[in-house]
Chains A and B, each alone.
Chain A
Amino acid sequence: MGYEIIVVGGGHAGCEASYACAKKGHKTLLITGNIKNIADMPCNPHIGGSAKGIVVREIDALGGIMGKIADKTHLQIKMLNSAKGPAVQSLRAQGDKIAYPKEMLNTLNSLENLEIKEGMVEDLIVEDGVVKGIVLEDGTKIESKIVILTTGTYLKADILVGSTRTRKGPHGEKPSQHLSDKLREYGFTIKRLKTGTPQRIDRKTIDFSKTKLEPGDDKLLTFSFDLEPQYKIEDQEPCYLTYTTPETHKIIMDNLNKSSMYGALDDIEGIGPRYCPSIEDKVVRFSDKERHQLFIEPESRYYDDMYLQGFSTSMPPEIQEQMVHSLPGFEHAKILKYGYAIEYDAIYPTQLHASLETKVLENLFTAGQINGTSGYEEAACQGLMAGINASLKLEGKEPLVLKRNEAYIGVLIDDLITKGIRDPYRLLTSRAEFRLLLRSDNADQRLRKYGYDVGLISEEQISKLNKKIEDIGKCIDYLKNNKLKITNEVEAIFNENIIPIPQTTISYEQLLRRPEVTIEFIENFIEIPFSDEIKEQVYINLKYEGYIKKAYKEAEKMLKLEEKQIPEDIDYDKVKNIASEARQKLKEVRPTTIAQAIRISGVNPADISILSVYLKKEYANDNK
């Protein structure tokens, strides 16, 4: 008896995908090159970060595992942008590169329906455009109903250091040599991408007195909606901050031609991420900057490697030695691992449905870096969605497609399948037009119901959420029903906090809406018998009601356009008068709704009007 689902690759996408499939009761095989590298963090040690931290919360809300594993193992955690509005606050943890993968493997091993095997996949079993399983390096065939590819950077991976190019993966592992060629033969457009990583330095050889201390938050925080904090504030490991020096810049400029990216290698095809330039790039492009920030981050409690964030390079080792030694505190530093760039193959993501099933081959799903993204969180959330949708397909159900106003995950997948990619895709808050609705604090309210519907969230978890929503309402009522009388004593407290005094008796709900008034301020007058979590929700809902309402209105406009479906069989050559660039893009993306068509770059409002008129005329008899 074969497997129902095979997940190829054990990175962050593969882990979430396997977990979701097995948890939902489907017999699943996770096949990976090396079991030791499951849930590996080959680049930076962060889980979360701006926008990405919200994704981790969304994964947790839907029933995925990244947040919980991070909560159990991290070295420190912080709320980013805590001085800004609630919509842009986001958690970031320093993961432990030993403890995180270990915890993940334990979790996966505990799943009844999941089997984990080592093997290198070099082809798929394909019959009439339908995938039926995988073919290993030695020709072994393993059948399954669905295959999920989460190959990360392992498709034809090349490590680039100085003038050398070596075909291997991040830890010197063997990459898949033929799978991307096979995919091309099956009809996929393949794109070559590139990314890079900085040096790892021996902690014992760094003089931290010359650097600035960057501790974790002194408030207990968790990604997961289900876990209590698993750490003590004082046990958090600090990060440090240092800067490049004029000498560093001189070394880089003097040796620029030795960098793989600046001429040492002349066969670079891969396109690197815009938001992640190498230190060479930064020094060249921003030559007026006297120094660049570098964060020194611990990788694990169990070994001494420190990650040198901001110093990613593809210089040869001898130059990297000079560069590192020019940094304050690094005069005698020992490099444990040199920085490198890596090139790999990805499929162009406009070839995907919103479910992450490919348009080219049925029953094939892809998630993570193979889809052109970068980042652990981006990978994990795609893995989760691919796992959920693969399972739903087996169960004969409609796929779960999150909309742009529902989740960053929805934004990410819609961007991928609608706009394609130019460079490795990273989530940014600025990509989410409804970010006011997609907050870290309300991920459970947005998404738990979906997690419950697909069977990854338990009865107990959902009733906890319902109680929370109920309490938010009760708390607002409480503030509405209680009023503040303006007495001399009350006036004095207002004056002390430099807040304008209301003219007459006012309800606490009205008071909270005023600028500068906080929950803590109100608690000068009245005790609010609800948890901090509830009070925070009430604060956000009341304080920013105007903005939130506006965002809902905008979202409604978009949803109306999402209702205008474009028939699958539309022939764009028959739509007269559409601009040629737009026609070509529409044919490539084949948007399913007018709203999606609008988001394709190169499709102008005029094209949309023409398309709408055409649809009305041609499909007048359809009920849609």
Chain B
Amino acid sequence: MEDTICAISTSKGVGAISIVRVSGSDAITIVNNIFKGKDLTKVNSHTINYGHIEYKGEVIDEVLVSVMKGPKTFTTEDVVEINTHGGIAPTNKVLEVLLENGCRLADPGEFTKRAFLNGRIDLLEAEAVMDMIDSKTEIQRKMASNQISGKTSSLINELRDDMVQIISNINVNIDYPEYDDVDIITNDILLPKITKLKDKINKILEESKNGKLIKEGIKTSIIGRPNVGKSSLLNALLEEDKAIVTEIAGTTRDIVEGQISIKGILLNIIDTAGIRDTSDKVEAIGVEKSLKTMEESDLVLFMLNNNEEITEDIKELISKVKNKEYLVLINKTDLESKLDLDNINIDKNRVVYLSIINNKGIEELKEKISELFNISNITSSDPTYLNNARSISILNKCLNKVGEVEEAVKNNMPIDMIELDIKSIWEELGTINGSTYEEELLDEMFKRFCLGK
């Protein structure tokens, strides 16, 4: 028997109502003890009931209480949701009263954890619920919702279904070698099936890169010499004064992050201290940090001053951004041009001209980023991707193994040995959504093939 937990399930303070959720075997009795209205232990399941929360003679709030009896609830336990009036004070008070009456404050994500542990949702779905709660953009929400509805799981299950047919057929060939009404799987039959499997996994992986973009956003760093306008750009993008902007070179020492949404994809922007040779020790740390940040970015915005000549260190830095997606931003186009772009080896398509002080070029920059990551394409399609590092790394591992199987098939290894590898891939895939069971295989064998004495 699990203890009864409670938590405020809506974000604190905002909105006209707040919801306090209670889940566990005593959920209904505990709430009933502090509820004045109908006897909640006697009302029908999945009903909303009007009344007041009262404790020690004091009316705390006028509420609507949803009573949902397990197992048809989110956690599969008895769940009660108390709709209080928004505002921090009454909601917190309700929570306090619940805690005094035998509830325990839920750990972060504990409702979801219970839903998972009680078999209500699978591992992928559980991860998705957590993503849903954290989602900041519409498309993130959509992706999480697809995952909750099991769409992503079914993507994996589809792969596994393909494999289970191969596996069970080979197993039947082994266990019933004399049955002639079962197709005999040979390496020739197997090869195209394995190739198809490889293609399917490849496609999911390819699309999952987008999933990662949607979920985690594009990590963007702005790199450039001091006073080139990096902080101004950040502010212009964020449309707020987050970074300190001054005329004195080298003001920004800490990395400041901000997020903007470009057509539904998050851009996580990292401001960096100016990169230049310096004797100032504090600033030297900033320089190091900038180089490191650049390394970790998906996109590097390389900022130049239209009014300055290109220096050696700039050239060197550009050579360092080469392995990343990058754009070269030329700021201060309002000033005289002293830049000679022919001096450096860059793709002209990656150049954007800006005059931040005059608010010029910002929209063009956003458009360019959108083009670079093909954002319109990502956001208009149905976002059913694997989006977490765990799933993707498992899938990559599977892809390698499928490659080995293909090799073994070509080398004409015995089919029963190849089957061992296919089965291990099938098991590995099952760990993505937590559905690897021996019994599945046996059932499949006996469902599909006619065997017997």
Taking Cβ atoms with an 8 Å cutoff, the residues of A that contact B are 43-44, 50-51, 80-81, 84-88, 197-198, 274-279, 281-282, 285-286, 289, 291-293, 295, 309-310, 312, 419, 428-431, 435-436, 515-516, 544, 547, 551, 554, 576-581, 601, 604-607
Contacts and interface: CB of A to CB of B under 8 A. Distances in A.
B117 A275 contact: no
A603 to B, nearest CB: 10
Contacts of A554: 424
Contacts of B411: 515
B116 interface: yes
Given A274-B446, A544-B417, A601-B438, A88 B174 contact: yes
B415 A292 contact: no
B179 A293 contact: yes
Interface in B410-434: 411-417, 420, 424, 431, 434
Contacts of B439: 601
Contacts of B113: 577
Nearest to B448: A286
B389 interface: no
Contact of A84 (B123, B415, B441, B453): B415
Contacts, number: 116
Interface in B239-254: none
27 contacts: A51-B175, A81-B416, A84-B177, A85-B413, A85-B414, A85-B415, A86-B414, A197-B453, A274-B446, A278-B452, A285-B450, A291-B181, A293-B178, A293-B179, A293-B181, A312-B452, A428-B175, A429-B174, A430-B175, A435-B420, A578-B117, A579-B119, A581-B119, A601-B439, A604-B434, A605-B431, A605-B434
Contacts of A198: 453
Given A43-B453, A275-B451, A428 B171 contact: yes
Contacts of A312: 452-453
A554 B424 CA distance: 10
Contacts of B431: 605
B177 A81 contact: yes
A278 B445 CA distance: 17
A274 B176 CA distance: 14
A88 B453 contact: no
B268 to A, nearest CB: 30
Contacts of A515: 411-413
Contacts of A309: 453
B118 A293 contact: no
Main secondary structure of the interface of A (DSSP, over half): loop
Given A430-B441, A601-B439, A282 B412 contact: no
Given A436-B417, A436-B420, A544-B417, A286 B175 contact: no
Contact of B116 (A84, A282, A431, A606): A606
A372 B176 CA distance: 22
B452 A275 contact: yes
Contact of B176 (A50, A436, A579, A607): A50
B417 A430 contact: no
Contacts of B171: 428-430
A547 B417 contact: yes
Which 8 pairs, one residue from A and one from B, show the smallest C-beta to C-beta distance? A85-B414, A579-B117, A430-B171, A286-B450, A274-B446, A277-B452, A88-B416, A50-B175
A521 B175 CA distance: 30
A578 to B, nearest CB: 7
Contacts of B452: 275-279, 281-282, 310, 312
A310 B453 contact: yes
A275 B446 contact: yes
A368 to B, nearest CB: 18
A542 to B, nearest CB: 14
Given A547-B417, A577-B113, A579-B119, A81 B174 contact: yes
